[in-house]
Structure 1
Amino acid sequence: MKRNISLFLMLFFTVLTFAQKTVTGKITDDDGVAIPSASVTVEEPGKDAILAYGITNSKGEYKVTFTSSEPNVDLKVKAFNQKPLTKQISNSDQTQNFKMQSEATEIKEVQLKTKMITARGDTISYDLKAFNSKNDRTLADVMKKIPGIEVNKDGTILYQGNAINKFYVNGKDLMEGGYGTINNSLPKDAVQKVEVLENHQPVKILQDKVPSDQAAINIKLKNAVTMTGRGEVGTGFGDPWLWNVKLTPMFFGQKSQWVVNYKTNNMGEQVENEGNILAFGSGWEGRRINAAQNSWLNVENASTPDLPVKRYLMNSVHYLSANYLVNIDKKKEWELKASANYTNNTIQRESYRQTDYFATPNEAASRVTQNIFNNFYTNKAKGELIFTKNAKKGFFKNTTSFSQFWNADRAIADRVTASTQTSTRHGEEALESPTTSFQNSLSTIIPWKEKMVNVKSFINYQTDKQTLDVAPASYLEIPGFTPDINAETVRQNFRLKTFEANHSANIGFSVKGWTFTPEVGFNFKRTVLNSTLTNLQSGQYLGYGDKYNNDLTYSIATPYGSLGVNYKSESWMLFANLPVNSNNIKADDPLRNVSKSVNKVTFEPNIFVQYSFASFWKASANGNINNNFGDVNTAYAGFLMQSPNGINAMSPSNPIPQNNTKSAGARIEYRNPLNNLFFNVNYRFSDSKKNLMSNPTRNNEGFIIGSYIEQDNHAVSNVYSVEVGKYFPKFKTNASVSYNNTTSRSDAYQNDGGYESENNAQSYGFKLNNTYFSWMSLDYNGSISTTKQTNTSLLSTLNGTSKRNGYNHNLAVYFYPIDNHTIGFNWDQVNSSNINQSYNNAFYDISYQFSWAKKKVDFEIKWMNIANRKVFETYDINATYNSYTKIQLRPSQVMFTVKFNFK
């Protein structure tokens, strides 16, 4: 491993330092007048390959940095209405000034060809027409084919492997990070180009002062005022009757923008996640979170397969959302944004699992078979109001959001255990879990002479009330709890109240490209946990002792002081945060007369540095230290039935958790829009130390008792990854390959036996999009994975090595035999295997689409899961068991859909 790290670092610093040369100068015309926007390129003699390029500024000045092993290179200068110049220069740092001669040319015929990829400064622009195919309809359809850009299943956009920080339409951030709705519903015909804004700092007053390593996406529409949108209405037959409705009108103007979205279906599309926050912007803007429930209690859940969601999701969903943005002043500096969404969703799920547990010194070998059928009911609403001023002379942002959940889960579970004796159990489980959540975030930056004053405040209040009922009581196998054999129901009551406040103030000042930001702040979080386990019999209430009751108050108070250091030049970018935290943690349990506390000062630096060279290259390194003192999850001292499958039996004697993590990483990135080549190489190392170790115990019935023991434990991980992508204009093909290698080693404990677990996971990926033929387009996405786990222990039963191989691919081919007619074929393949077992799961879809070109309306009929595969099978090996799982899938179904643009 050390050898691999050394080789990577050697490569990193070799590329960083080898033969980097810089040429600067000024370009003027015959009269000595500066020529702006002239292009300057460096090429190796006799080779049609550009090493680096630059563009002159308004003063005619340029700077080009390049890397070459040749003794001489060609410097070429071009400008409109000027005679091109070429000069061979030595491979060294130097200054070259040029005086260009005017050249008037009579143009008899002009053909304008838009460049598919252009770059200017930190902005790379993609012409959408160059990447779309006849079957593409929305922005997301085309974005998936752009080199350097990747769109995940949840809608997240990655640029060079990293998530973006902003998503703009005509320069405005309407969706505030929840851009999935626009990405999936904006017609491609409304878009002129997609712009990638590299190293994007969204807060204007901080631009050129506080750098950013993240990129943003700006969608530039063809018209300054655009009324558009996308709609679908579909119906089909299967079991049950199927429907699919999508209506998303949208408006983008110069002073206001809005999007209204209603989507409903029962055909397996997970549309309710479109409103999730996928881009969080800059920390200077304040804090935003995806409000979620603290899901402590759960019914037993049926398994889900490693398949596209549409293959197994039995849903009935209604999702309604609205987003509105308006400028409220004449200068267009102040914006008001309002958004709201509501989700009503029902999901059914069913699986069968057979688990063979290995024998341990404390437990005999056993086989547990489970059939689980679920109904999950989701009702949630969210509203948000945002006031923003983002100007060069000041910044203000206040975000207020409110969320309410009314969720309920149901499960019917059958469990058969075969060990020393055979037992059969049947249980019916019900969970009610309402949650109320409120957040307010304020951040303002005020210029003060040559300095900047920033004040931030974040307040979060949330209540979670959960009630889990299990019937009959005899289904459970709980230590120390012996319910009446005639009891109808056992109930676990749980309530959690959380209050969090973060306040800070800093002052920033700049000196010769450096910006220093000293800051003081105070973070506070208080959580109150109450729980009781009761046996309901004939309307009576019976308690079961203090050990099944919890009454905990857990608080974390952290005053801190930090220094932010930022530097930005043409080639270098650095930002660092150097905080010193005074951590004060206290856990009080009056029920058991237990009080624990930790008072510790920590230094937790976070540093990032990036160097740009040779026009197309970037090299970066980062490192940080983080200390975490656990949470209420591991601090309570009683027993809690978090699931009917088992309980957590915590100990009053356990100390407050203390976790220390050190991590470092390096990255080399190359993106050349001139030859459409993009790639990145990454390495990340992480070392984590904890004072508490999880110690789950299993009995013969397969019920799990979760607990922690006080024992130092260690986890180390190394991650290597590389991705290369290139667009071939001649063949209209975008192709990319990727490789990932993750090695982790950690200490573990199971059934009173300690062991060390080492895992190695490798994956190879390949993507291909081709639109070369007028009669066909093709999309392919495939991956091969290998996972190896090795356990080493004093207990021979936990020793051993297990391997698992996987192969996944998706092939989508579309044929265009006649204008306006499309025949589509889709093939999903998911294979898994180990030494003893192999399972192959294939799914096929076919579709026919007629396009009414004049009205921009599509009529589609689609047959999904032609082979009518009804179950998914997989096999898994763990340190303590192996298991076979069978999961119910969506049956064969046929849909007829009408698709259209609103304008």
Structure 2
Amino acid sequence: MKKLLSFIFVLAFSLIVFAQKTVSGIINDADGKPLASASVTIEEPGKNAILAYGISNAKGEYKVTFTSAESNLDLKIKAFNQKPVTKSIKNDDQKMNFSMDSQATEIQEVRLKTKLITKRGDTISYDLKSFENKNDRTLADVLKKIPGIEVGKDGAVKYQGEPINKFYVNGKDLMEGGYGTINNSLPKDAVSKVEVMENHQPVSILRDKVPSDQAALNIKLKKSVTMTGRGEVGAGFSPLLWNVKLTPMFFGQKNQWVINYKANNNGESVENEGNLLGFGSRWEGRRSQAGQKSWTNIETAGVPNIPEKRYLLNNVHYFSANLLTSPFKNKEWELKANASYTNNSITREDIQTRVYQAGSPTIESGGTFISSTNNKFFDNVAKGELIFTKNAKKGFFKNVTTWNSFWNTYRGDVDNNLPPLEGSTTSIRNMANESLESPTGTFQNSLSTIIPWKEKLVNFMSYIKYQKDRQTMTVSPGSYMSRFGFQDFDTVTQYANSETMEVNHSASVGLSYKKWTFTPEVGLNLSFNNLKSAITGSINNSSYYLGTDKQNNVDWNEVRPYTQVGVNFKSQNFNLNLTLPMNFYGITYKDNIRQDYLDKSKTVFEPNLFASLDFASFFKIWAFANQSYDFGNFGFLYGGNMLTSPTNIQVRYSDNVEMPEYLSRMAGTRLEYRNPLNNLFFNVRYNYSTNKRNLIESYATDGFISRLALEAQENTNRSQTESVEVGKYFPKFKTNLSVNASNTDSNSFSKFNNIFGESTNSRQSLGAKFNNAYFSWISVDYNISMNWNKNTNKVFDTVLNSSGWNHNLSTYIYPSENHTFGFNWDDLSTSASGENFRNSFFDISYQYTWVKRKIDFEFKWLNIANRKVYETVSVDAFQQLVTTNQMYIRPSQFMFTVKFNFK
């Protein structure tokens, strides 16, 4: 595998240094006027293959870069109502101007044949009709089949392996990053084509000045005013099952809206569709996915690495509404309002077996220990957002106000077989009831505006965030944690309350000179945080504080003024973005109970670079590099003991601990090839990173109960990754095929039971995707992925190998226009230390389609074999530990569903 990847990289990068030639010039008509949109192609004589191509701009200018070993080439020019030109040229750099003669085109018969993929500038357009099969119903169903595009279960889209930054419908960004709902619910029949806009800068006023390394998606509908949507209603049994999806949508020229209600107990986490999947440009301000600060948690059962429909025991109700409108006559201004609410309950259960080899640093005598966990999670999440935007070529304004609230309750019943106490040879069995109450409230406001001032652009940004978390974990009986000294209590409770206030302000000025843009910027980032926590014990409903060593009252405050210069260069083929910041970090840590105080004041240089070069028409090479410092964050240090879980107690401060200082460096490159003429795409990647740290986390564990502390000890982690992905669409056979491979080598340092050591990991993966709809009566989708891991403990010179593979086969048979028979096969396997587990799942379906009304009646039988447990095995070379996990999953179930479009 490593030799293969090395060969691919050598081959790929040799293309870069291979001699490239450029021909450029101006194309005029017979009257000497510039000809726009004339196509210029370079071909090798006698071969029906285009080496490179270009399109003339409004001034008639063209430029084509090509690579060839031939001494002479053919240059061909075509333009509407002009006589084609063919000229033999030398394989050399040259400038050539052309004058084309008029030639009227007589059209006697017109036959329109839509091209599968077309490219114009940085925009690649896909004809959706060419990629769909008869069983596809939504936009996401078809996007999965387009070469170079990946779609996640939540609707998240990646292009060439990277997340997109925007998702537009008819050029409008209704969802503001939470586009999963549209992707999963927009009927494919409403879409005419999908546009991938490479190097997309979402801020209009910056498009010719500040480049971007991300792509965006624009969904072009068949009608400029479209009322559409998707709905499903289903019921089933084993146990009683139900599923409701109602998502009406409206897309107009002035207004757009989406209303979404989805509820089920059949194993689909529809609430994730509302997550922020794309974050736009930094110039739009700051947005983040709201989350809770986790100080403590109950023990949780494992989650299997299989499709969630096979294991997720849920009961979810998710409602969301998104509105976009232009409130003024000036359509440049847009108002967006978004709201959502989730009520969800989830059940999980597993049995875990830990086997320690003799000589393990954790349990020297070795042994086998079994535990089981049964959880119930109850989530209530609400969100509201108002967005006011003006995104015009003469100015930019965006203000985003967001409210988030969480009311979560978790329950756990645990039965553990524990290692014996010191001096004993008898293992201990303990059972516990655990609960966690976890409410959180957040408020965020982000403002960014760009104002033209003469030939300059002035940008002001402001961000304010306030968050309050309150967590209460209770464990009963107290003897469950006797190793922490809590054996005398009926219950033990961990309280944790925290508050965070964050304020960021910045101002910058953009100065342009020809193709260069320089952006000096100054800013001030402030963060004020407080944590209060305490462990209490209860006897006969009377609570007792357990001393100041079980309490915390900690302040963590940061003041970070900075100054930076952004350097941007944008030309037709080359983009450069270089950020040169000088950041001053002023961080203080104060323990108000123990009167401990630490501070860190340091000025550091944290540059960031990305650059891209288009060459030979279809190739693009990227380069990335950055350096960053990490001086810790809120919660990194505290001096009182805290139960981060019932089996883990932590104290993160001691007399010899200093403030953290981690230095990370990363460099990487990516080579892309995108040829819409022959439907071939590939990308090759290389990344190397280091993380130099001055502290290490030291664990003391008996295999189940663990204590953590920080110690001053320098260590450096390294990671190196190579990967390649190739995709090809064969239109003649209606087949899409892609192959990917990767190799990652990394190391890490850790300290267990006073033993400091290094572990290395080598991981290889190989995967392939295939779908075919050549025959009108059958379609096939197949995915396979394989991985191999080698985990080495350098302290004990032990090596543990593991591997796994999984594949999915989905095939549909269409005996007539109304009937569809489906078969699905998931097969997953893991292997380690002589243990092998294979998990196979089979599903069948039948669908009757009322073609005139576009309504589907579907019957599904899932998990025909009625497998109820999913089994995996994993290894830890440092602890010389093999862990097997049996996770309870959904049994065999039957579902009847009616699916329909709203219009």
TM-score for both structures, normalised by structure 1? 0.97
Query: Distance in 2 between the 1:222 and 1:4 partners?
Result: 45
Give the aligned residue type for 1:202: P
Partner residue in 2 for 1:333: 332
Question: Aligned AA for 1:459?
Answer: I
Q: CA–CA distance in 1 between the matches of 2:694 and 2:625?
A: 23
Instruction: Report what 2:121 is aligned to.
Output: 121
Partner of residue 665, structure 1: 668
The aligned residue for residue 756 of structure 1 is: 758
User: Could you say what secondary structure the match of 1:31 adopts?
Assistant: coil
Whether the aligned pair in 2 keeps the contact of 1:610 and 1:619 (CA below 8 Å) is: yes
Moved more, 863-872 or 326-335: 326-335
**CA apart distance, 1:873:** 0.9
Q: Give me the whole-angstrom Cα distance separating, in 1, the residues matched to 2:380 and 2:548.
A: 34
1:262-297 Cα distance to aligned partner (Å, 9 max, x none): 000000001010000000000000000110011221
**Which position in structure 2 is the counterpart of 1:64?**
64
Partner of 1:857: 855
Q: 1:680 is aligned with what amino acid?
A: N
The 1-side partners of 2:149 and 2:8 are apart by: 25
The match for 1:101 is 101
- Distance in 2 (alpha carbons) for counterparts of 1:589 and 1:198: 50
Q: Which residue identity does 1:534 align to in structure 2? A: T
Q: Which residue of 1 aligns with 2:141?
A: 141
CA-CA distance at 1:68 after TM superposition: 1.1
Instruction: Give the CA deviation at 1:651.
Output: 2.9
After TM superposition, list the pairs within 5 Å mapping 1:295-334 onto structure 2.
295-334=294-333
* Displacement after TM superposition at 1:531 (Å): 0.5
1:314-351, CA deviations, whole angstroms, 9 ceiling, x for partnerless residues? 00000000000001222211110000000000000000
Distance 2:361 2:56 in 1: 76
Q: 1:527 is matched with which residue? A: 529
Which deviates more from structure 2 when the two are superposed, residues 627-636 or residues 764-773? 627-636
1:824-864 deviations in Å (ceiling 9; x for gaps): 11111101112411111010110000110100100000000
Corresponding position of 2:811: 813
Q: What is the alpha-carbon distance in structure 1 between the residues aligned to residue 890 and residue 360 of structure 2?
A: 39
User: Where does structure 2 lack aligned partners over 5 or more consecutive residues?
Assistant: none
* SS state at 2:171 partner: coil
Alpha-carbon offset, residue 542 of structure 1: 0.9
Given that 1:690 and 1:712 are in contact with CA atoms closer than 8 Å, whether structure 2 keeps it comes out as yes
Question: Per the alignment, do residues 13 and 872 of structure 1 end up closer, same or farther by CA in structure 2, a change over 3 Å counting?
Answer: closer
Alignment check: 8 A CA contact 1:367 1:417 kept: no
| Structure 2 equivalent of residue 258 of structure 1 | 257
Q: Which residue of 2 aligns with 1:774?
A: 776
CA contact (8 A) 2:362 2:752 kept: no
Which whole-Å deviations, capped at 9, do the CAs of 1:453-474 have from their partners, x for residues lacking one? 1111111110110000000101
Residues paired across the two proteins, number: 894
Say which of 810, 834, 838 aligns to 1:840. Answer: 838
Map 1:69-108 to 2 at 5 A: 69-108=69-108
**Aligned-partner Cα distance in 1 for 2:389–2:312:** 39
SS at match of 1:652: coil
Q: What is the match of residue 878 of structure 1?
A: 876
In the alignment, residue 78 of structure 1 is paired with which amino acid?
K
Q: Does 1:623 align with 2:628?
A: no
CA offsets, 1:614-647, max 9 Å, x none? Answer: 1111112111100011123321111100111221
1:559-592 per-residue CA deviation (whole Å, 9 max, x = no partner) reads 1111110110111110111111111111000211
Deviations 1:236-256, CA, capped at 9 Å, x for gaps:
0112x0000000000000001
Letter in structure 2 aligned against 1:154: D
CA displacement at 1:58 relative to structure 2: 2.4
In structure 2, what is the equivalent of residue 17 of structure 1?
Answer: 17
Aligned with 1:441 (options 438, 443, 446)? 446
Cα RMSD over matched residues? 1.7
Question: What is the one-letter code of the residue matched to 2:683?
Answer: N
Aligned counterparts of 1:887 and 1:352: Cα–Cα separation in 2: 7
Q: TM-score, normalised by structure 2?
A: 0.97
Distance (whole Å) between structure 2 residues aligned to residue 450 and residue 774 of structure 1:
59
State the Cα distance separating 1:26 from its structure 2 match.
2.5
| 1:610 corresponding residue in structure 2 | 612
Shift of 1:361: 5.7
Aligned AA (1:223)? K
Query: 1:221 — aligned with what?
Result: 221
Query: What residue is the counterpart of 2:748 in the other structure?
Result: 746
CA distance in 2, matches of 1:294, 1:4: 44
The residue number in structure 1 matching 2:41 is 41
Contact persistence 1:594–1:652 (CA under 8 A): no
Deviation at 1:418, TM superposition (A): 5.4
Classify the secondary structure of the residue corresponding to 1:632.
coil
- Per-residue Cα deviation, 1:445-500 (whole angstroms, up to 9, x for no partner): 11111111111111111011000000010111443x3442xx32111111111111
1:176 aligns with 2:181: no
The range that moved more, 546-555 or 353-362, is 353-362
AA aligned to 2:517 is T
Query: Quick one: distance in 2 between partners of 1:113 and 1:10?
Result: 40
1:780-795 to structure 2, matched below 5 A, reads 780-793=782-795
Question: How much has 1:126 moved relative to structure 2?
Answer: 0.5
The 1:6/1:560 distance shift into structure 2, 3 A limit, reads farther
1: CA distance, partners of 2:679 / 2:560: 49
CA offsets, 1:49-76, max 9 Å, x none?
A: 2111111222322111111111111111
Q: Which runs of 5+ in 1 are unaligned?
A: none
User: 2:860 aligns to what SS in structure 1?
Assistant: strand
8 Å contact 1:768–1:780 — kept in the other structure?
yes
Structure 1, 872-881 or 443-452: larger mean CA deviation: 872-881
Q: What residue number does 1:579 align with?
A: 581
Query: Which residue number in structure 2 is paired with residue 683 of structure 1?
Result: 686
Shifted more, 323-332 versus 861-870: the winner is: 323-332
2:399 is matched by which residue type in structure 1?
Answer: N
2:200–2:215 Cα contact (<8 Å) kept: yes
Mapped to 2, the partners of 1:396 and 1:605 lie a distance apart of 27
Instruction: Give the distance between the partners of 1:217 and 1:459, measured in 2 at CA.
Output: 30
Kept after mapping to 1: 8 A contact 2:154/2:270: no
**Is the Cα contact below 8 Å between 1:178 and 1:279 reproduced in 2?**
yes
Q: Distance in 1 between matches of 2:164 and 2:452?
A: 28
- Amino acid in the other structure paired with 1:281: G
Paired with 1:620 and 1:423, the residues of 2 have a C-alpha distance of: 57
AA at the equivalent of 1:31: D
CA contact (8 A) 2:858 2:897 kept: yes
* 1:176-232, Cα deviation, whole Å (9 max, x unpaired): 000000000000000010000111111011110111111100000010100000000
> Matches of 2:711 and 2:397 in 1, distance apart?
48
Q: Would you say the 8 A contact 2:480–2:487 is kept in 1?
A: no
Stretch moving more, 669-678 or 17-26 = 17-26
Tell me the CA shift for residue 16 of structure 1: 2.3
Contact 1:861-1:895 within 8 A present in 2 as well: yes
Q: Tell me the equivalent position of 2:520.
A: 518
Matched with 2:455 is: 450
Offset from partner CA, 1:774-799 (integer Å, 9 cap, x none): 00011111111111111111xx3xx3
- Greater shift in the superposed pair: 415-424 or 73-82: 415-424
- Find the counterpart in structure 2 of residue 413 from structure 1: 414
* AA partner of residue 343 (structure 1): T
Mapped to 1, the partners of 2:8 and 2:555 lie a distance apart of 48
Distance 1:412 1:565 in 2: 57
Aligned counterpart, 2:207: 207
Is the 1:478–1:647 Cα contact (8 Å) retained in structure 2? no
Residue 705 and residue 7 in structure 1: after superposition, are their counterparts in 2 closer, same or farther (change >3 A)?
A: same
Displacement of 1:8: 8.2
Counterpart of 2:388 in 1: which secondary structure? Answer: strand
Query: What is the CA–CA distance in structure 1 between the aligned matches of 2:400 and 2:115, rounded to whole Å?
Result: 40
**Which residue in 2 is equivalent to 1:389?**
390
Per the alignment, in what secondary structure is the counterpart of residue 864 of structure 2? Answer: coil
SS at match of 1:281: coil
| Contact 1:19/1:69 (8 A) holds in 2 | no
Residue 138 of structure 1 aligns with an amino acid whose one-letter code is T
2:696 matched residue in structure 1 = 693
Distance 2:119 2:808 in 1: 32
Separation of aligned partners in 2, 1:862 and 1:3: 45
Three-state SS of the structure 1 residue aligned to 2:815 is coil
